[in-house]
A and B are shown apart, each in its own frame.
Chain A
Amino acid sequence: MAHTRTLGRQAGFYSTSTVLAVLFLFPMVWTLYSSVHGQQATNGADPDGYGLANYRRLFDYGAGIGSYLVNSVVVSLITVVVTVVLATFGGYAIARFDFPGKNVLFLVTLAILMVPYTTILIPLYVFLGWIHLQNSLLGLALVLAVFQLPFGLFMMRNSFESLPIELEESALIDGCTPTGALRRVLLRGVIPGLVTVALFAFLASWNEFVAPLIFLTDGSKFTLPVALFNLQSGNNNVVDFGALQSGVVIAAVPCVVIFLLLQRFYVRGFTSGAVKG
């Protein structure tokens, strides 16, 4: 009796979950499927065949999808590197050193979380113009990095604090400078935190839409999401859905792959209790 009841429950769980899983996968699977299937995908040759014509048209779109991809990669790389470097040095400083202004710096950096950046994009737009970083991939990446810093700093400070202090002391006694201790001994211990920070910075910068939309005025500098938005909204309401869908596939695949590879680091970010959504 009890046995059949648990069996029934198991069946209930697996059937509910499977239906839900199909629902969650459906939009992505359909997009992938219709990017390579049908009239547009085969250049009109076969309404029920498979082809790569959508991707070929996309590659010739605007300045060429290749250059938008390069822009996106450049912005993401700079954002990730700047975030990781600043958060690592900053986290080390705040976890292990006493210096004047330390608490103020920590609080101001965390306060960025409270000020959602869409509300300061307008002054940032003006300010980037003053320092000649408007319409620049570097300027965009620096702004995106700033908004990754609260999470990054929090994560790295916790990572350094969770390392035993003896580890650093023994390195210092062995004649290491603080920088040597950081490079040779401590860095290995904080690598999981570092990967988590890099992962969050990558996903955020790769997918960012409103900041590049405002900061970048030169069409050849657009990142992938903005270029795809132009593909969708331009051309007098005639939308090339095939090209759009292949663009969505190209934009989504790196994130999905990286996420699946680094899943456990993502979950780490959650359990550390500080996520900016």
Chain B
Amino acid sequence: MTLVASRERRRTAPPRGTRRRSALRRRRAYTGALYAAPMAVIVGVLFVIPLGLMLWMSVNDWPLLGASSPNGLKNYKVLSDSLLTDAIWFTVKYTIVTTVVLSLISFGLALLVQEQRPGIGLFRSVFFLPAAVGLASASLLFYSLFVNDQSPLNSVARWLGLTHGTVDWLGTSNHALASVVGMITWRFAGFYMLILMTGLQAIDPQLFEAARTDGANRWQIMRSITLPLLRPSLALMLILSITGSLLAFDQFFILTGGRQHTATAVIAIYRQAFIRQDLGGAAAISVVVLAVLLIINGAQLFILRRER
């Protein structure tokens, strides 16, 4: 009763000091805004404005050089261009193959190195080390491996009985795809291994012990404990791998230049802008790629949220 009364009183007649406190709060708000201002300006100028400009450019005739003028949705006609649809299908194929191969190998590596043993830190570092090398550098490194006559890769392939002569590692679309997937696996497996290992180590070891005493075999433990509890880490890996592969550029641009039908969506954007000199069309493709990625990421986040 008294509590209600005092609350009523507070609402009608604020006690002294509130004004001082609100002045203080206003000053703190001012200070906070001041701290955040540089970031807000940079994000506004170099992210929000270009994002709006992208939409505007996509409905304008916008050559690389010279004046631009509105042209409605004409730029979006580029979507039916067979070179672009080729690139999109190739990107999807590449994304699926890469994600499957990478997930399996990274998961295997994570299982291999999750337990603490002597020397394990060294192995983890070695598996991760390629991820410290930049993607462009890695592509240039593998270019020498694939193309150079001095490369030991052909001898290795012969020794393994894969071929009798020499392999043209980047010569056909499928060869190039397989070679790039191999390179990407080398570059990223350790990175995803680390994500999955962090997830594996977060699982309570008592769960495994309890399952073992209950007589569960390895496969049952994997299916009903490890995989379900690893879901957040698996989801993070899938989001990163799918987004990264859909936006693939460096590896194909450097290794094949997009020839042999190995152009990706981002190579198509680059080609539209700087070879065909049509920035409007490039912006239109960008808008579509962005929309697709937002939908995919949104769907994945939605599924993640629901399962939590």
Contact = CB atoms under 8 A, between A and B. Distances in A.
Given A27-B142, A127-B53, A271-B198, A228 B137 contact: yes
B211 interface: no
Interface string B208-237: 000000000000000000000000000010
A149 B45 CA distance: 14
B53 A99 contact: no
B290 to A, nearest CB: 4
A45 interface: no
Contacts of A86: 38-39, 42
B25 interface: yes
B100 interface: no
B50 interface: yes
Nearest to A127: B50
Contact of A98 (B32, B257, B266): B32
Interface in A131-171: 131, 142-143, 145-146, 149, 153
Contacts of A82: 42
B195 to A, nearest CB: 6
B136 A105 contact: no
Give the dominant DSSP class at A's interface. Answer: helix
A130 B204 CA distance: 56
B214 to A, nearest CB: 20
B137 A89 contact: no
A229 B42 CA distance: 30
Interface extent on B, as a size class?
Answer: 35 or more
A1 B282 CA distance: 67
B86 interface: no
B147 A239 contact: yes
Given A86-B38, A89-B39, A210-B250, A116 B57 contact: no
Contacts of B141: 27-28, 31, 245, 248, 252
Contacts of A270: 194-195, 198
Contacts of A75: none
B43 A109 contact: yes
A142 B42 contact: yes
A239 B150 CA distance: 13
A203 B132 contact: yes
B137 A252 contact: yes
Contacts of A209: 134-136, 249-250, 254
Interface string A241-269: 10011011001100110111001000100
A127 B266 CA distance: 19
B101 to A, nearest CB: 15
Nearest to A247: B140
A108 interface: yes
B38 A255 contact: no
A24 B132 CA distance: 13
A241 B126 contact: no
Contacts of A123: 50-51, 53-54, 57, 283, 286
Contact of A17 (B39, B123, B289, B293): B123
Given A38-B150, A118-B266, A232-B143, A146 B47 contact: yes
Contacts of B62: 126
27 contacts: A17-B112, A34-B144, A86-B42, A97-B31, A97-B32, A98-B25, A100-B29, A101-B33, A105-B39, A105-B40, A109-B39, A112-B43, A118-B266, A118-B269, A119-B290, A120-B286, A122-B279, A122-B283, A149-B39, A225-B136, A225-B140, A229-B254, A244-B143, A252-B134, A259-B129, A267-B194, A267-B198
A-B CB proximity, top 9 nearest: A97-B32, A207-B134, A209-B136, A93-B35, A90-B39, A259-B132, A93-B36, A123-B53, A277-B240
